[in-house]
Amino acid sequence: MNFSSKLIEEAVNAFATLPGIGRKTALRLVLHLVKQPKENTEGVANALLRMRLGIKTCGICHNISDAEVCSVCLDTRRDRSTVMVVEGIRDVMAIEETGQFRGLYHILGGVISPIEGIGPQNLNIDSLMDRVAQGEIKEIIMAVSPTIEGDTTIYYVSKKLSLHEVKVSTLARGISFGGELEYADEVTLGRSIVQRVPYRMLNDD
Amino acid sequence: MNFSSKLIEEAVNAFATLPGIGRKTALRLVLHLVKQPKENTEGVANALLRMRLGIKTCGICHNISDAEVCSVCLDTRRDRSTVMVVEGIRDVMAIEETGQFRGLYHILGGVISPIEGIGPQNLNIDSLMDRVAQGEIKEIIMAVSPTIEGDTTIYYVSKKLSLHEVKVSTLARGISFGGELEYADEVTLGRSIVQRVPYRMLNDD
């Protein structure tokens, strides 16, 4: 692209470093900012700076947090005996969105993946063991991706947890709500038959 | 969306003010920045601020510019007797990309559109007349959108220009390179037959 302005070019290059934003999209964003009042650009830039310079990792669950301990871990109304183990921050958001979980979280930071060179030592497993060792936790819910790597991680963590008196559970696997039966893959469909459950009304509380 | 962090939420909201960026995309961008070193976010924020606070409008052609006069207008190697009249900044970039034009530009800032309430007084037409009145310009190339509004604008500007001794031309209209004849619309195809030109080799200089 041929920019008559060095300033525009630098702003386009900056936007284009973000994932999924090419130089054409970046140019569209920059020209949008040019047309808006200066305050809008200052608002965007300052929000990004405040966020990046202020953001911390929760010392307990490794979630991103505005303070040393995140708002979930600080919330005294939550059930401190149940901990949901997830891969990342976005999983916490997705689970919070359901409104079905009132316990605490523990963010692993990924799953064990020998292909990508991620071993147990690269994940927040030791700190999970430390939390369990304190004795308050009664149940660990392994909510990681239903993949080979996820299953490996569940196996590894549950084996380490067997030293402690703690119940380990996983999310139910089966056919998705709203999905069409004929399009479900055979592993999922097969398992959902083997692990069929007695019918009951959805408990909404 | 359920954010455990106020800082993340504000950064997501900031990104989401940009066109074509929804809250899900904004969240992806923010979480990307969180994973990167602080310097990356500072780089993006500072490039945006420098751009927005530093950018000017060229006093001659109304193009965006780093200085009071843009680099195109300052370039003494360019042909100052030919001025291409375009709607916006992006048109300048597109034309510069072709490498086929070595004259100057004049950015109208849009086209006459009664439906959108844009009249001649909202466009940079007076300043174009002022430039022409100085006598150096021999040809005005009207390079606006081939639409009703574009044609209206060409008509209006060329009428005003008829007071001066200046040649007015428009971009050639016809079938696009690489397009398939059967998919060309009938107006374009019809005109391209009526305005057929003698065959000649493309002059590449």
User: Residue A41: which of B15, B40, B48 has the nearest Cβ?
Assistant: B48
Q: What is the pLDDT of residue A103?
A: 94
Domain A12-54 belongs to what topology? Helicase, Ruva Protein; domain 3 (1.10.8)
- In this predicted structure, the answer to whether residue B156 has a pLDDT above a threshold of 80 is yes
Q: What is the pLDDT of residue A30?
A: 94
Write the burial class of residue A47 (CB in 10 Å: 0-12 exposed, 13-18 middle, 19+ buried).
buried
User: Which of B86-95, B169-178, B195-204 has the least mean pLDDT?
Assistant: B195-204
The CATH class of the B6-54 domain is mainly alpha
pTM, two decimal places: 0.77
Q: At what angle do helices A23-35 and B38-54 cross, to 10 degrees?
A: 50
* pLDDT above 90 as % of chain B: 68
Q: What is the pLDDT of residue A203?
A: 58
**pLDDT mean over B101-110:** 94
Contact B51 A29 (CB under 8 A): no
User: Which of A18-32, B71-85, B184-198 has the least mean pLDDT?
Assistant: B184-198
Q: What is the pLDDT of residue B181?
A: 78
Domain B79-194 belongs to what topology? Dna Topoisomerase Vi A Subunit; Chain: A, domain 2 (3.40.1360)
DSSP string over A70-82? -HHHH-TTSEEEE
Distance CA B104, CA B132 (A): 12
**pLDDT mean over A55-64:** 93
Q: How many CB atoms lie within 10 A of CB A123?
A: 23
Tokens of B120: 């001649």
- In this predicted structure, the answer to whether residue A15 has a pLDDT above a threshold of 70 is yes
User: Does A101 or A175 have the greater pLDDT score?
Assistant: A101
Confidence band, pLDDT 50/70/90 cuts, at residue A20: very high
Secondary structure of residue B107 in the 3-state scheme: strand
* pLDDT above 90 as % of chain A: 68
Q: What is the pLDDT of residue A145?
A: 86
Pick the CATH number of A78-174 from 1.10.10.10, 3.20.20.70, 3.40.1360.10, 2.40.50.140: 3.40.1360.10
Distance from CA of B5 to the nearest CA of A (A): 5
User: Residue A55: which of B7, B29, B43 has the nearest Cβ?
Assistant: B7
User: Residue B7: which of A7, A10, A54 has the nearest Cβ?
Assistant: A54
Give the Å distances, CA to CA, from B193 to A78, B180, B189. 76, 15, 6
- In this predicted structure, the answer to whether residue B50 has a pLDDT above a threshold of 80 is yes
Q: What is the mean pLDDT of chain B?
A: 90
CA of A71: which chain B residue's CA is closest?
B4
Contact A71 B15 (CB under 8 A): no
- In this predicted structure, the answer to whether residue A177 has a pLDDT above a threshold of 80 is no
Q: What is the pLDDT of residue A204?
A: 53
- Per-range mean pLDDT, top range of A4-8, A37-41, B1-5: A37-41
- In this predicted structure, the answer to whether residue B90 has a pLDDT above a threshold of 60 is yes
DSSP string over B42-87? HHHHHHHHHHHHH-EE-TTT--EESSSS-HHHH-TTS-TTEEEEES
Give the mutation candidate from B44, B57, B58, B107 for the A interface (greatest A CB count, under 10 A): B44
Contacts of B63 in chain A (CB under 8 A): 4
Q: Say yes or no: ipTM exceeds 0.90.
A: no
Give the number of beta-carbon pairs within 8 Å between A and B: 175
Residue type, B81: S
B89 touches chain A (CB under 8 A): yes
Contacts of B101 in chain A (CB under 8 A): none
- In this predicted structure, the answer to whether residue B84 has a pLDDT above a threshold of 90 is yes
User: Does B162 or B179 have the greater pLDDT score?
Assistant: B162
Q: Are B87 and B113 in contact (CB under 8 A)?
A: no
A100 touches chain B (CB under 8 A): no
Max distance between CA atoms of chain A, in angstroms, equals 69
Contact residues for A81 (Cβ-Cβ < 8 A; gap 6+): A103, A136, A137, A138, A139
Contacts of A50 in chain B (CB under 8 A): 7, 10-11
Residues 22-61 of A with CB under 8 A from B: 25, 27-34, 38, 40-55
Contacts of B51 in chain A (CB under 8 A): 7-8, 10-11, 30, 33-34, 41
- In this predicted structure, the answer to whether residue B196 has a pLDDT above a threshold of 90 is no
Q: Hey, where are the domains in chain B?
A: 6-54, 79-194
A71 touches chain B (CB under 8 A): yes
Q: What is the pLDDT of residue A127?
A: 95
Confidence band, pLDDT 50/70/90 cuts, at residue A32: very high
> Could you identify the residue written with the tokens 């009145």?
B133
Confidence band, pLDDT 50/70/90 cuts, at residue B201: low
Q: CA-based Rg of chain B, rounded to a whole angstrom?
A: 22
A165 touches chain B (CB under 8 A): no
Contact A38 B54 (CB under 8 A): no
Distance from CA of B14 to the nearest CA of A (A): 5
- In this predicted structure, the answer to whether residue A156 has a pLDDT above a threshold of 70 is yes
Contacts of A48 in chain B (CB under 8 A): 11, 14-15, 30, 33, 41, 44-45
Distance from CA of B132 to the nearest CA of A (A): 23
Residues 1-20 of B with CB under 8 A from A: 1-8, 10-11, 13-15, 17-20
Q: What is the pLDDT of residue B204?
A: 53
Contacts of A34 in chain B (CB under 8 A): 51-52, 55, 64, 89
CA of B54: which chain A residue's CA is closest?
A7
